Amino acid sequence: MPTPSFRLEADWNPEISTPGQLAITLINTGDSAVSGFKLAVTSLFRIKPDAPIEGARLVDQLSNYHVLAPEDGFVLEPGARWNIIARQISHTLRHYTYGPKSAAVTMEDGTLVVPEVMPMTLKGEAGAPTIVHPARRPLAKDAQTISVIPFPADVAVSGAGAVPQAIGFADGPADAHAAFNAAKALAGRLFADEAIFGNGLAVTCAADPELSAGGYRIAFDDKIILSAADLDGFRHGFITLAQMVRGARHHPEDFIFPASGTIADAPRFDWRGSHLDVARQVYSVDEINAFLDTMAWNKLNRFHIHLNDDEGWRLDVPNYPALAEKAAWRGPNEILPPLLGSPFEKHGMVYRAEDVTAFVDHGLELGIQTIPEIDIPGHCYCVLKALPQLADPEEMGIYRSVQYFPNNALNPALDETYVFLEAVVKTLVELFPAQWIHIGGDEVADEAWAGSPQANAMQGPNGWQGTFALQSYFLKRIQSLLKQYGKDTGAWEEAALGGGVDADRSYLVAWKKSESGRDLALQGYDVVLAPAEHAYFDMAQSTEWWEPGASWAGTVSVETCYAFDPAHDWPDEVQDKLIGVQSCLWSENLADRRLFDHLVYPRLSAIAETAWSPKAAKSVDRFMAIQTLMPKASLG
C-alpha cells in the first residue's frame, strides 16, 4: 500500500471577520485516497472551543494544541484539499510564527503521518520568513573611537596605537591572572579563528581597593596597566581590551586601539541579567553554556533560568520521579501532547544534578550567577498532571489561564502542596548557590481555586477574600521557607497582589510596563526592570508579516530596545529600589532554533549597555557600528 503523505498550509486574513479568518488546508500529496483520519496541529493561535468551524469538528484541545476531524464519510482524494475555516480565534495573528508549527495526521488504523508544514501566509500572498540581522552602520567620518559594548563610563584616550597581535599577561595579583585565563578561554570559544589573547602586548595588573565592585581602570602609555578591586573587574577590563583589539582589526577606519589615556569604568547596576525559558522548549547544557558565553562578553552577570511552565518541568527532584518521567516530556502518548512545535514523538528533557552543576559552574567562571525560577502557584499544569495528589479531589468546575490551560495552579489549601515544594526548594538550595530563588507568581487566573472546597474553607476563618489573597498567603509561606534556608525571594510583579510577598529580602521583576516597576518601588519592593516593550526578545522587531516573533507587547526593534531608559520617571526617594535590568526570552517560537540568534542578538547587547553604561555614555549610532562584532550563540 502506498505511504500516505500530506502538506499543511495556513492563511490569515484580518479583513474577514473579527479578529480575522484562519484558513487551514490539508493537501493529500500521496497516491491514495484517505478517510477516517484526524489532524493534530500545534501553533500559537487558539480556536475558541465553542466556535463554529467550517469543514471540521474540534475533537480535542489543550491550549494551542488542536485535534480536528472532517465530517463522517469525508474522503480526501490524491491531490485534493481539505479546507478548514475558523473565525473565532484567541487573538489577532500578526506574524507567520503564530501559525501551525508542527502537525500529524492520525490515520484510521492509528498510525501517524507527519505532513510538511508550510509557514502561514497573509491574505494568500506568497512570501518567506525574514531572518536578517541588523546591518552595521559606519561611524561618521573622523569619528574614530573604541569598539566596546557596553560602552565605558569614562573614556579619555587619544591617538591610534599599534594594534596588538594578542593580549598577554605581564604581572599582577592572583585574581587578575585568573581573570586573564577566563577571558582568554572565553575568547577562544567565541572567536576560535582569531588570536586575541596570547603572546603579545603584556598587560600589567594592579589591585586597587578604591575601585567599585566589577569596575576597572585601564591606563595606556608605554605599557598598559589594568587596575581593579576584584576578579570581576579584572575580567571586565580584559574583555574591554579584547573588544578594542577586534574593532581596530576589523574596522580600522572607525576604531582605534588607544596610544595613550585612560578608561575608567564601572557598572551602573549590579543586576545585569538575562532570562531564558527552558520549559517551553528544551535546551542542552552546551546550548545554555553557549548563551552564557555571549552574556559574559556583554558583561552581564545574572542568568535567570525559567525551569517550569505548563508545557514542561525541567528539574529532577528526588522523591518525585514523576516529574522527570512524565512532566518533562511531550508527545502523542505522554501526559502532555505535542505543543508549540514539538515533534509528534516523545520529546523533552530533564536536568539532573550533574547538568545543573555544569551550567551553574560555567556561569560562575564567567562572573554570572544563575537564579533558578520555579513558577508557582500558576503555570503548573504539567505538575498537576504528573502529581494528581496535589489537586483538591473535590474541586468543581474549570478555570483557565491566559494561555488556556485548565486548573493549572497549585492549591494553597493542601498540605501536600507544601510537602512537595519543600522538596523542590531543598533541591534548588543544594544545586544553585546564588542568594536568590525566583518563585514566579505570575498570571494566576482570577478564578483559580474558586471551585475548591478546601481553598474556600481557608477564606472565611482567616478573613481572606479572593484568589490573590490566597496567592499572597501561599507565596509568603514559600518565602518563609526560603528564609529558613538563608535565601532571598524573587518573583514576577503579580506577587505584589492580594497583600503580596514581604518586601524584606525580596525583589520583583516588573515586566508589564516600565511604570509598574515604579509603582512596586513605591510599595517598598526592590525592582528589576524587564518591561516587555523594551526587553522581551520574543517580541518581533517589526510589524512585517514575515518577521518572526510575537507582538502582544508591540514590536521591539533594536533601536527601541536600546532606547530603554530605566527609572527616568521614578521619584528620587525610590531610585535606590531599582537594583537592575534584565531581558527575557520566552521560547514559544524557538522550536525553530534558527530564530534564536535573530531574536536575541544584538538586542542582548542593547540591554547590556543600558544595564552597564550611564545614559550620557550611550550612542545608538556608535552601538550600531559596533554590534556586528559581538558574538552570537549560534544555536540554529
Catalytic residues: 443
Task: Give the Cα-Cα-Cα angle 581, 622, 214 (nearest 5 degrees).
Answer: 40
CA separation for the pair 37, 55 (Å, rounded): 14
Q: In this structure, what are the phi and psi dihedrals at residue 429, rounded to the nearest 5 degrees?
A: -65, -40
Closest CA to 353 of 257, 428, 412: 428
The three grid cell numbers given for residue 160, joined into one nine-digit string: 591610534
The three grid cell numbers given for residue 259, joined into one nine-digit string: 596610544
In terms of C-beta distances under 8 Å and separation of at least 24 residues, what long-range contacts does 324-329 make, across chains too?
A: 324/350, 325/386, 326/382, 326/385, 326/386, 327/382, 327/383, 327/385, 327/386, 327/387
CB 404 within 8 A of CB 443: no
Phi-psi region of 340 (alpha: psi -120 to 50; beta: other; left: phi over 0): left
List CB contacts of 514: < 8 A, sequence separation 6 or more: 529, 531, 533, 534, 564, 566, 569
CB 412 within 8 A of CB 470: yes
H, E, C per residue of 199-249: CCEEEEEEECCCCCCCCEEEEECCCEEEEECCHHHHHHHHHHHHHHHHHHH
CA 213 to chain centre: 27
Strand segments, DSSP code E, in 252-306 are 258-265, 271-277, 302-306
User: What is the DSSP annotation of 21-60?
Assistant: EEEEEEEE-SSS-EES-EEEEE-S--B-TTS-EET-EEEE
Closest CA to 214 of 291, 300, 303, 304: 300
Question: Cβ–Cβ contacts within 10 Å for residue 58, how many?
Answer: 18
CB 497 within 8 A of CB 474: no
Strand segments, DSSP code E, in 433-472 are 436-440
CA separation for the pair 248, 373 (Å, rounded): 41
SS3 286: helix
Scanning 251-395, the segments in alpha helix (DSSP H) are 285-297, 321-322, 353-365, 381-386
